[in-house]
């Protein structure tokens, strides 16, 4: 997302979450950091940290990006401190990909500091971690930085082979900044191996890309590399043009690489007896005053000062040259003292760690022996105590069990007598209840059958009268309608459900294929009605009832009927 769009999105702060605002601020931090806009970068870094305080999964990457910014600004101590903060969040979240990124960026910082040994160690750790993960492109970046380390330590052929392994993978993706930065480093190995035509071709390609994209920071460095290639190819005039352009661009940018490039340019001018031009370059840089950026590392600072002293000496300004040489001596002493102090601290820390570890081992061994002796004594006492408790408990348990057996025996006899008496009473009550229920059920069934038969008889008599009376009147019409109404059946089934509440549910579950008429027929069988009585209720003949029973028996599942001799038996058990 472009800077303008991000700023516009941040303007809608009331409609986006804090986590999304934190991501936008982090992106602005990266953009301003790449363009050396330190104040703006730091503002958005602090803002992103505040917005992401409840999102630890974001804080690791935010601190990592700020560490990269400090590295590019040559503030290496701050870069390492911020990377270490990123590490704490990656460890907390068990983020292995994050740890791979941390070691990659830490190795890159050491590369910038010209501490190639530490750089190689950290970058190998990064590659070991990232190689186990099928995630992201950071492994390519780690391999690239490892190749840079090998270049800095003089292992040029090895670095060249490593670059050639990485470049095809990078080219498969859409070539962008990362691809051209890799080409930068690859071209440097070609330069170091005196493959100058190949190096020149690649540097021109890089130069054209950064001219097109307007990236002045890397464009300045591309000009510097072209100057070096042409100088080595004895193309002095072309080399000088590239040197001048590179220095002016770096002055405009206040780039940390200014003194590295200016030092190389002063050496070129001195070598080609252009001492007055060299003096102009020095005066231009001096006019920057306090805004002169720090060099990338002490080596670049010393190299620039040494070339500056040579130009001053060749221009007859011996006093100024001596002052610069004194600066070099002081800087070297300062670097030596710092490195010496770091080395002493490392030695002291290692000694203290070893001494403390040895002391801890001795104390641990002594404590182990004392603990073992104390444990043996404790175990003996515990075993004796347990044995005594077991003996006493056994005696107590035996006597108690004897008493309990006697008590239980007496209680069991008494309980058995009470249970027998209670059971007899319960059986008598249940027998009486069963008898009463049966009497009530028989009465209800008898009432239902009688009412049904009466209703059927009444209907038959009405039909007989209607068949004798051939005249059609409103009255006879109403009688026909009343005969066809099913309210009587509805009343019948309601009363039947009161006697046998779950009969219909059971028969439907047992035989889902039965129709409502089939079930109605089964209710008559359940009531124990004779074939004639069923025929009268349904207004069908005695033979039709028998046929209906036969068809129903066939319709009912054979496996259900095989236990029963008749349809009535099967219906009765429901």
pLDDT in tens, 503-533: 888 888 888 888 888 888 898 888 888 888 8
474, part of any domain: yes
- CA pair distance 181, 108, nearest whole angstrom: 14
Lowest mean pLDDT among 3-7, 85-89, 569-573: 3-7
Higher pLDDT pick, 132 / 332: 132
Final residue in a domain of this structure, among 217, 252, 287 = 252
185, part of any domain: no
Place of tokens 């803002």: 47
Question: Does 367 have pLDDT greater than 80?
Answer: no
pLDDT reported for residue 448: 67
Tokens standing for residue 487 = 């309210």
Is residue 103 very low, low, confident or very high in pLDDT (cuts 50, 70, 90)? very high
User: The whole model's pTM is what?
Assistant: 0.48
Cα atoms found within 13 Å of the Cα of residue 349, Cβ hemisphere only: 6
Which value, to the nearest 10 degrees, does the dihedral of the CA atoms of residues 180, 182, 184, 189 take? -150
Question: Does 341 have pLDDT greater than 70?
Answer: no
- CA pair distance 441, 447, nearest whole angstrom: 10
DSSP secondary structure letter of residue 54 = T
Give me the number of domains the chain comprises: 2
Is residue 354 very low, low, confident or very high in pLDDT (cuts 50, 70, 90)? low
pLDDT tens per residue, range 324-334: 888 888 887 77
486, part of any domain: yes
- CA pair distance 348, 354, nearest whole angstrom: 10
Residue 58: Cβ within 10 Å count? 20
Share of the chain above pLDDT 70, in %: 81
Final residue in a domain of this structure, among 218, 252, 286 = 252
Question: Does 432 have pLDDT greater than 80?
Answer: no
556, part of any domain: yes
pLDDT tens per residue, range 175-211: 788 888 889 889 999 999 999 999 999 999 999 999 9
Question: Does 346 have pLDDT greater than 60?
Answer: no
Higher pLDDT pick, 103 / 430: 103
435, part of any domain: no
pLDDT tens per residue, range 41-74: 999 999 999 999 889 899 999 999 999 999 988 8
pLDDT reported for residue 170: 78
| 314 contacts 344 by C-beta, under 8 angstroms | no
Domain that holds residue 212: 205-252
484, part of any domain: yes
Final residue in a domain of this structure, among 231, 252, 273 = 252
Q: Which sign, positive or negative, has the C-alpha torsion 521, 527, 530, 532?
A: negative
260, part of any domain: no
């Amino acid at each position: 997302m472009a800077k303008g769009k991000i700023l516009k999105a941040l303007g809608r702060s009331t409609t986006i979450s804090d986590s999304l605002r934190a991501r936008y601020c982090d992106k602005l931090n990266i953009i301003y950091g790449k363009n050396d806009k330190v104040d703006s970068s730091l503002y958005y870094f602090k803002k992103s940290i505040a917005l992401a305080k409840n999102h630890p999964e974001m804080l690791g990457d935010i601190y990592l990006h700020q560490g990269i910014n400090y590295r590019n600004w040559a503030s290496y101590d701050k870069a390492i401190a911020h990377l270490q903060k990123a590490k704490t969040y990656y460890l907390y979240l068990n983020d292995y990909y994050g740890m791979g990124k941390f070691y990659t960026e830490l190795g890159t910082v050491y590369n910038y500091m010209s501490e190639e040994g530490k750089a190689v160690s950290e970058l190998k750790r990064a590659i070991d971690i990232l190689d186990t993960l099928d995630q992201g492109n950071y492994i390519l970046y780690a391999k690239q930085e490892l190749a840079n380390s090998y270049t800095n330590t003089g292992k040029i052929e090895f670095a060249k082979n490593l670059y050639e392994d990485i470049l095809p993978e990078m080219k498969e993706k859409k070539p962008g900044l990362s691809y051209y930065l890799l080409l930068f480093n690859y071209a440097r190995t070609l330069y170091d191996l005196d493959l100058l035509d190949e190096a020149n071709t690649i540097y021109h390609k890089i130069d054209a890309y950064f001219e097109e994209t307007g990236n002045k920071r890397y464009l300045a460095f591309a000009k510097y590399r072209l100057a070096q290639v042409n100088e080595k190819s004895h193309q002095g005039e072309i080399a000088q043009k590239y040197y001048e352009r590179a220095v002016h661009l770096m002055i405009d940018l206040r780039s940390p690489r200014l003194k590295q490039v200016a030092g190389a340019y002063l050496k070129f001018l001195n070598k080609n007896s252009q001492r007055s031009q060299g003096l102009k370059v020095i005066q231009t840089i001096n006019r920057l005053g306090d805004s002169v950026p720090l060099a990338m590392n002490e080596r670049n600072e010393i190299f620039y000062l040494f070339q500056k002293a040579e130009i001053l000496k060749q221009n007859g300004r011996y006093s100024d040259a001596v002052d610069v040489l004194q600066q070099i001596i002081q800087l070297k002493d300062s670097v030596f003292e710092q490195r010496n102090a770091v080395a002493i601290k490392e030695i002291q820390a290692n000694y203290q760690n070893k001494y403390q570890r040895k002391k801890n081992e001795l104390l641990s061994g002594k404590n182990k022996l004392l603990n073992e002796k104390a444990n043996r004594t404790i175990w003996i006492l515990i075993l004796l105590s347990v044995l005594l408790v077991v003996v006493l408990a056994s005696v107590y348990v035996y006597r108690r069990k004897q008493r309990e057996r006697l008590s239980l025996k007496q209680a069991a006899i008494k309980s058995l007598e009470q249970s027998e008496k209670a059971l007899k009473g319960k059986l008598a009550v249940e027998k009486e209840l069963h008898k009463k229920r049966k009497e009530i059920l028989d009465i209800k069934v008898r009432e239902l059958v009688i009412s049904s038969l009466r209703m059927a008889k009444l209907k038959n008599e009405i039909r007989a009268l209607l068949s004798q009376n051939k005249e059609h009147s409103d009255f006879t019409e109403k009688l026909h309608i009343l005969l066809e109404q099913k309210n009587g059946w509805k009343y019948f089934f309601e009363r039947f459900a009161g006697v046998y509440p779950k009969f219909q549910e059971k028969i439907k579950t047992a035989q889902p294929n039965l129709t409502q008429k089939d079930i109605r027929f089964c209710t008559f069988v359940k009531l124990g009605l004779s074939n004639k009585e069923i025929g009268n209720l349904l207004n069908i003949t005695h033979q039709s009832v028998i046929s209906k029973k036969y068809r129903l028996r066939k319709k009912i599942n054979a496996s259900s009927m095989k236990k029963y001799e008749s349809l009535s038996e099967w219906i009765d058990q429901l």
